Amino acid sequence: MVERFYRLLMFIFNDKIGLKKFLADNSYSFLLSSVSVTFVVWAIQAVNNLDIVSEDGHSFLIYFYYTTLALPKIFSDLLPIIFFTTLFYTIIKYENNNELKIFWINGISKIQFYNLILKYTVLFFFIQILLTTLLVPYLQNKGKSYIKESKLDFFPSLFQQKKFIDTVDKLTIFIETKNSNNEFTNIYLKDETEDEPRIIIAKRGQLLISDDKKIFQLLNGLYININKFGKVTSFNFEKTDFDLSQFLTKTTTYTKLQERKTSELLICAHSILIKKEPPKNKKGTLNCTYDSIIEIMSETYKRIFKPLYLFMLSSIVIFLLTSSNEDAKFKKIKLFVFFFGIFFIILSEMSTDYSGKNNISLLLSIFFPLIIFLFLYGLFYKRIIKLNNKA
């Protein structure tokens, strides 16, 4: 995989100025950092999502599918900071090893080096766009579909002794004791699936599980029905079967905005902002209204325009070339570049919320990284010309 990525880089850049090793080293550092950091974050999130099994009653297979499909989103969220830190690290390493001097001695200008970095940034910009606009929403929606279509496979784990459990939608369960054979004593059930709720109390019960059925067999109990007027009727029973298969989890199953197709967001934004008329919302489609347009604009900006901050990051890290490790100011420049890079990453996160306030906020959020990028490019160019004149 690393070799293929390296060949792709060489094809794109058609490198004729002896910087292949730099690109290869930085790409290797990026891939290694991406894999390690992404899997660490994924492991932490996977642990936090264990309630899908322990509380919501889904199987470990559903849990595995759901958490694994989150990997591209995690990588997409981490890409800017990994891109910045690996580029920062590689340039510092080359400077400390005096390898950058080889480039300058062989006639490679710092402007040429910067232009190559910009081409490199374009590649990551399109990778980020591909992730945020297509792959991540699709896989997020795919993961949610596994939750929607799954059954509650871990009912026994939901039954906890001496606790009222309402994880299952429209059903409250209380049991006093249970054993390893799925046998229970002193059971209380409140079923609210009908207009008139019913309460079932039983001395004993057993959970019978087959491939497509989950039956709670109750013994020696009492049915209590409460109608809409508050009238209570009751009757005793010796044995009854309560079908648990009809109940669903309370896990959120509706399609969130982050899981919608980018095309849906763009159509909605066009209808509200350009046509000034919200489209007719059909069942299962995006809720496109004047009230929801703020969130839709923010999500659209996050997917399409937020990756522009990558150019700001590469433009700030390139200022490391304005000095050398022999210069007393080099340490200060390193700190300046690093902290400004982190500042821009934080700013990019804040811009997502700001972009959805109104049309002006959206335009400012889009053009701000472009303006800062052009400013940094011009500042770097002037700085290099000044250094060359001094030399």
Average pLDDT over residues 221-249: 76
Most confident range, picked from 154-158, 180-184, 263-267: 263-267
Average pLDDT of the chain to the nearest whole number: 81
* Residue whose structure tokens are 């699936």: 193
- Indicate the range of 52-56, 296-300, 309-313 predicted with least confidence: 52-56
Integer Cα distance of 118 and 317 in angstroms: 11
Integer Cα distance of 82 and 29 in angstroms: 9
- Indicate the range of 91-100, 160-169, 212-221 predicted with least confidence: 160-169
Integer Cα distance of 303 and 313 in angstroms: 18
Higher pLDDT, 126 or 56: 126
pTM, two decimal places: 0.74
Q: Fill in the amino acid letter for 140.
A: Q
| Residue boundaries of the structural domains of the chain | 2-149+255-390, 155-243
Number of residues in the chain:
391
Q: Which residues fall within 8 angstroms of residue 370, CB to CB, at 6 or more apart?
A: 308, 311
- The model's confidence at residue 250, banded by pLDDT at 50, 70 and 90, is low
- The model's confidence at residue 186, banded by pLDDT at 50, 70 and 90, is confident
Q: Give residue 16's pLDDT.
A: 47
**Tens of pLDDT along 167-183?**
666 777 888 888 777 78
Beta-carbon count within 10 A of 254 CB:
9
- The model's confidence at residue 205, banded by pLDDT at 50, 70 and 90, is confident
- The model's confidence at residue 39, banded by pLDDT at 50, 70 and 90, is very high
Higher pLDDT, 220 or 76: 76
- The model's confidence at residue 11, banded by pLDDT at 50, 70 and 90, is very low
**Tens of pLDDT along 101-130?**
888 887 788 888 998 899 999 999 999 999
Q: Fill in the amino acid letter for 313.
A: L
Q: Give residue 223's pLDDT.
A: 83
Integer Cα distance of 240 and 242 in angstroms: 6
Reference 150, options 20, 8, 275, 53; nearest CA is 53
Higher pLDDT, 218 or 180: 218
